[in-house]
Structure 1
Amino acid sequence: MTAPVLFQEKPLASQGRYGVATLNQPAKLNSLSLDMCQLLTDQLTRWEQDPSIAFVIFEGAGEKAFCAGGDLHQMYASMQQNAGKPAADNAYAAQFFAVEYRLDYQIHTYSKPIICWGHGVVMGGGIGLMAGTSHRVVSESSRLAMPEVTIGLFPDVGGSWDLNHLPGRIGRFLAATGAILNAADSLFTGMADYCVRHADWSAIIADLERVDMAQTAGRRQLDQHIHEVLTQHSAAATLDAGPLQTHYALLSALCNNRDISSLYRAFAALADHADPWLVRAAQTMLKGAPLSVALGLTLQERALHLSLAQVFQLEYNVALNCCAHGQLQEGIRALLVDKDKNPQWQPTSIEQITPAEIDALLACPWPSAADSPLADLGQVRI
């Protein structure tokens, strides 16, 4: 049986090695499973402790995706088995989100450079892996998004932090609509750092292998060497402005609205816009779960002054509560199980959502915060 993540260690020209982690589920667009998250966690820990490993590269097998999100089928089964039970009783969900969020936090705080080759589809859990890497690279065919509204979840894996730090509060639009960013808009928003052509990736690897570790003094200089290699191959100048950049003034003005119902209506009105990209974004929101929209926007407000570790802890509580609420189960059913693409959302409209319902989803499902599996996040190194 082929391993779901492949690990290689390759030599550098002068001294030392670098690690390559390849997500190896191309038929599933490299969607993350619990096993994959644990394998990545363990190997990253070993590489971080190995002084001969200079840097790490993330990539996805196949030509279509780096990572299209999480593998939701087992999550769906766990929700069926735990229907009507308290959120904390879902052992699989509790373990999956704990391992995934710890991995994402580990990447954000990693002591060595990580280069993420975000070629093709990068969505949901793929964004969680990519966002914390030190050198986020897209290709001309990359498509980035946080489309959790379509399944009744919210932009998790640190999305409440990452989207919050984009310019012009534009993360509110991305959370509500699941809008897809091309390479140009990924650079414009800051969700990616470099764009290189897919055809040049092998040449970039060859140049990275020539980095002289004997002449490199410390992390900062190594980061700079990697930056110079990626910049030398940059294709950013060949990209036309993306649709988000084109409509940035409009979207940023809309995102200044703090009232969730008003903001929902403003985004909904884009369904009548002349630009099909805005139309698709609005329609995605309108077909998605109203509660997911409200939850994603509320989390960005709540997370504004939290540390990264606190954001993951908060998202962990909400993710488990979403598994018990029933909406996420319905979203997965409609999209991946029955595939009727006709989810019956509850509540059915943004106006029906009450503050009490949001507060219930934000609440800690454990007897106390100290009982959470992520209670120590930020206090100890993974």
Structure 2
Amino acid sequence: MPMETTPVTFNEMLTPSGLKIGHCRLTKVRALNALDMQMVTLLTKQLKKWQQDDAIVMVLLDGDGDRGFCAGGDVVSMFHAMKQAQSESSTASQSEFTLEAFFSLEYELDHLIHTYTKPVVVWGNGIVMGGGLGLMCGASHRIVTSSSRIAMPEITIGLYPDVGASYFLNKMPDGCGLFLGLTAANINAADALYTGLADYFVTDDLKLEFFEKLLSNHWQTVSAHKTLDNICKTFQNRSVKHLPESHLKPYQNWLHELSDLPTLEAVVNAIKGKASEHDPWLIKGQKALSNGSAVAAHIVFEQLRRGKNMSLAECLRMELGLSCKSGEFGEFQEGVRALLVDKDGKPNWKYKTVEEVPESVVKYFFEAIWSAESHPLQHLR
């Protein structure tokens, strides 16, 4: 396959000690490096290969272009695939199978990164959303930059925060994960550090120098993690004066109160009724919640409630069922159509408010599709 048509490139970079750094770069620049089936398959295969290669001391993952690391999953391609399946009078199970295949592979890749036995550095510049956050969250060394713009915006397309979000949103300070899942709010580097989505802040202009430092270091396998810690800390110390102000921190007391509210209806009313004090960031989040899918809001609330007591693998297994059900239910297709295909910005959601969503609909999403033994992700631990 010609280099220019390859959505992911791989390179093994030799260091002075003789050990190599495995470099993965997402190269689908026009689509903001949005993940498709081919990219997920290529990444999984290469990462598994490098994990078994003693000559590879660490892995570096970044995205081509200045606009972002990864904008998420290629949901437009999924939309067209589902639409084609429906036009061919396929059954719901066939549509499910398409989503099952993609999401199974994507979640397996996310789990692989979380459990990787070697250091993984992700350079999370620019847009890091949805599936891009799934790639970044599991890395051992997650770097955000002055341009980082991070979000889980799925509620705006009738989906829900997946790729392990049931797990990592629950690890945030009280209320932060719930708020971000319901409002699709964009957060910056300071917020990413505060919520535990990132480990280090380095300004964008130091990327080349940072990469050169990695390549020039005399790596040893036994000390790789500690050495990488020190390199990242050095570059963060040079950058910290440029760290932006956090959006979330000023609201932490309120977010803590939000997490104690017993029902989704109460949470939604509290967010919508929060005085904005002319904060455009909060106002934008309130609008996204108001315009987003009421069904998706219920899924967010329930997935986080259940995910509190689940392992990462259990969360991913739950999310695979939710994703397949989302494709079957119709909100997902309608959201993608309105926001990314027809771009009319007017999704015709099945329910206009969270109060209108029947309990039976929420229950449907969380009903098991597979037995424990037959689950496509049953092998994850």
1:293-312 alignment, distance < 5 Å: 293-312=297-316
Asked if 1:32 corresponds to 2:35, the answer is yes
Q: Which of 286, 296, 299 lines up with 1:292 in the alignment?
A: 296
Shift of 1:271: 6.8
Residue number in structure 2 paired with 1:68: 71
**Mapping for residues 51-130 of structure 1, pairs under 5 Å:** 51-83=54-86, 85-87=91-93, 90-130=96-136
Scaled by the length of structure 2, what TM-score is found? 0.94
Tell me the distance in 1 between the aligned counterparts of 2:272 and 2:28. Answer: 36
Aligned to 1:233: 235
Unaligned runs of 5+ in 2: none
Give SS of 1:58's match. Answer: strand
Per-residue CA distance 1:84-118 (angstroms, 9 max, x = gap): 83356532211100100000000000000000000
Structure 2 residue 258 is matched with structure 1 residue 261: no
Report the residue type matching 1:143 in the other structure.
R
Q: What is the match of residue 319 of structure 1?
A: 323
Could you give the per-residue CA deviations for residues 32-65 of structure 1, whole angstroms, max 9, x where no partner exists? 0010000000000110011000000010000001
Does residue 1:155 correspond to 2:161, yes or no?
A: yes
Residue in structure 1 matching 2:368, options 360, 364, 371: 364
Q: Once superposed, which parts of structure 1, at least 4 consecutive aligned residues long, lie more than 6 Å away? A: none
- TM-superposed deviation, 1:251: 2.1
- 3-state secondary structure, aligned to 2:66: coil
Q: Post-superposition shift, 1:231?
A: 0.9
Q: What does the per-residue CA deviation read over 1:6-34, in whole Å, with 9 as the maximum and x for residues that have no partner?
A: 00110112221011100010100000001
Report % sequence identity: 36
Cα displacement (A) at 1:241 = 2.6
What displacement does 1:359 show? 1.2
- The Cα offsets for residues 107-157 of structure 1, whole Å up to 9 and x where unpaired, read as 000000000000100000000000000000011010111000000000000
Indicate the residue corresponding to 1:222 in structure 2.
224
**Match among 194, 200, 208 for residue 194 of structure 1:** 200
Shift of 1:169: 3.0
What is the count of residue pairs matched by the alignment? Answer: 373
One-letter identity of the residue aligned with 2:232: L
Cα offsets for 1:314-353 (capped at 9, x unmatched)? 0000000000000000001101111111001112210011
Q: Which letter maps to 1:183?
A: A
Between 37-46 and 334-343, the greater mean CA deviation after superposition: 334-343
What is the deviation of 1:363?
A: 1.5
* 1:278 alignment partner, one of 277, 282, 290: 282
Which 10-residue stretch deviates more, 323-332 or 355-364? 355-364
333, 336, 341: which is aligned to 1:332?
336
1:272 offset after TM fit, Å?
4.6
The reply on whether 1:342 has 2:346 as its aligned counterpart is yes
d(CA) in 1 for partners of 2:165 and 2:275? 25
Deviates more, 1:332-341 or 1:311-320: 332-341
Q: Are 1:166 and 2:169 matched, yes or no?
A: no
* Contact preservation (8 Å) 2:146, 2:244: no
**Which ranges in structure 1 are unaligned for 5 or more consecutive residues?**
none
Distance 1:281 1:85 in 2: 37
